[in-house]
Amino acid sequence: MWSGRFSRDSHQLVREFTNSLDNDRVFAEQDIQGSVAHARMLGRQGIISQEEADQLVSGLERIREEIREGSFPWRSDLEDVHLNIEHRLTEMLGQVGEKLHTGRSRNDQVALDLRLYVSQRVQQWEVLLRKLARSLADQAQEHLETVMPGYTHLQPAQPVSLAHHLLAYVQMLKRDGQRLAQAQERIRVSPLGAAALAGTTYPVDPEATAREVGFEKCFANSMDAVSDRDFVLEPLFCAATITTHLSRLCEEIIFWANPSVGFMRLPDAFATGSSIMPQKKNPDIAELIRGKAAGTFGALQTMLSLLKGLPLAYNRDLQEDKKPFYQADEIVTGSLTLMAQLIAEIEFLPDRMRKAVSAGYLNATELADYLVGRGIPFRTAHHITGRAVAYAESRDKGLEDLTLRELRGFCEDVDQEVFQVLDPHQAVARRNTPGGTGFEAVSRQLSEVRAWLDSEGE
């Protein structure tokens, strides 16, 4: 393509080293979409004739067919997807094919292709996030009144509703979806018309090409347009956050599935066995999702490092921007898909949860609050309750197993009603402050989650 300037071919090793076909072939469809928009604009603006524009468009459409049916003659000696398609177009149309690149550079071309591709993938992430949120909401619906231990420091803290616990993850996913939607506003900006870096002398119409590829906006500064890759950084940060959330959920699943905890049974189809220990049922899917999260952090780090030293405008370093995105995409897509199915098939074991709630004095706060209700200042109530817990623990009993006499030994204001207060189900039921774990509060939360899920199409 640039032989005019050179007197001999580049070294074979150089050609291999600079070749990006394996990485950019992925967005051949987007490359054609951008070229079609560009060709139409050239025709409309009278930069080429209308007839030439029509020829270019139908040639590009034929190439799209060839690529789809696998008959496109990919040539690894042509550096990238752009040169492959342009070369084929010229093979088909002769000199007219050579007009496609008028007023355009591969610098604005590749930036557009990648933006189109990233936008499409991010849209798919949004769909998958909602699928997972739906699986969690369905389980929450089933377990509105299932009471389980809530933890801080992974030590038993207060009883909570399992639905509340699951919906906490839905809230994370909802924010992840919002972040992606906001990132889309900045991804969906067309750089076409920036040309190599300085714009062009041809009367191009960047707003029209932006509209034609379905983007809402076009660039404001041609140098920024060809060298900006924060439209990749943002989704990579989102990917890192999504997989962080998933990894936390994995950690819960691994803990819950441990037989000494026993809060759930792993579905057979989503567990693996051991080659030596016959009793084993391992949560490998959850472990792998947790492990793969590391790859998205790596991708974000790679991208930040790639960009930090680049002067304006295009630098060939930018060719290395695709692999981190693909890597993160594969992880996000795979992890969200598997997690949605895993959650749908988990069998929670409310009896085991109930048993766990009765060990570890999760109702101690209830006793303290009860004493406050009797006019005792909270700090004093806290102290009295602490002593009662130490006493019960020394006798290997729960607070609710102490007699009224024993409890009165700590505070004479205690009466029979205290036993209702100590009941963990009641403890959950009473916490209906906004966003709390009480059954009514959680029902309200679930309705809001459902409304959100129903408000956005698949």
The residue annotated as part of the active site, out of 10, 76, 274, 447, is 274
Beta carbon nearer to ligand ARG, 111 or 210: 111
Q: With contacts defined by CB under 6 A, name the span among 50-58, 104-112, 137-145, 399-407 that binds ligand ARG.
A: 104-112
State the CB neighbour count (10 A cutoff) for residue 383.
15
101 binds ligand ARG (CB under 6 A): no
- Omega before 313 cis (within 30°)? yes
Shortest reach from residue 110's CB to ligand ARG, in Å: 4
38 is an active site residue: no
128 close to 336: Cβ distance less than 8 angstroms: yes
290 burial type by CB count under 10 A (0-12 exposed, 13-18 middle, 19+ buried)? buried
Which residue of 35, 107, 135, 200 would you call a contact of ligand ARG, by CB under 6 A? 107
The size of the interface with ligand ARG (CB under 6 A), counted in residues, is 10
Beta carbon nearer to ligand ARG, 23 or 341: 23
Beta carbon nearer to ligand ARG, 110 or 189: 110
106 binds ligand ARG (CB under 6 A): yes
**223 vs 170: CA distance, rounded Å:** 40
Shortest reach from residue 81's CB to ligand ARG, in Å: 8
Beta carbon nearer to ligand ARG, 118 or 249: 118
**158 vs 361: CA distance, rounded Å:** 8
Shortest reach from residue 319's CB to ligand ARG, in Å: 4
> Binding to ligand ARG (CB under 6 A): which residues in 24-53?
24
Beta carbon nearer to ligand ARG, 139 or 227: 227
Shortest reach from residue 226's CB to ligand ARG, in Å: 9
Which residue of 314, 325, 410, 439 would you call a contact of ligand ARG, by CB under 6 A? 314
5 binds ligand ARG (CB under 6 A): no
20 binds ligand ARG (CB under 6 A): yes
Shortest reach from residue 75's CB to ligand ARG, in Å: 15
Shortest reach from residue 38's CB to ligand ARG, in Å: 15
Amino acid at 107: N
305 is an active site residue: no
The residue annotated as part of the active site, out of 153, 260, 275, 455, is 153
Point out the residues that are catalytic: 153, 274
Where along the sequence are the contacts to ligand ARG (CB under 6 A)? 20, 24, 80, 106-107, 110, 314, 316, 318-319
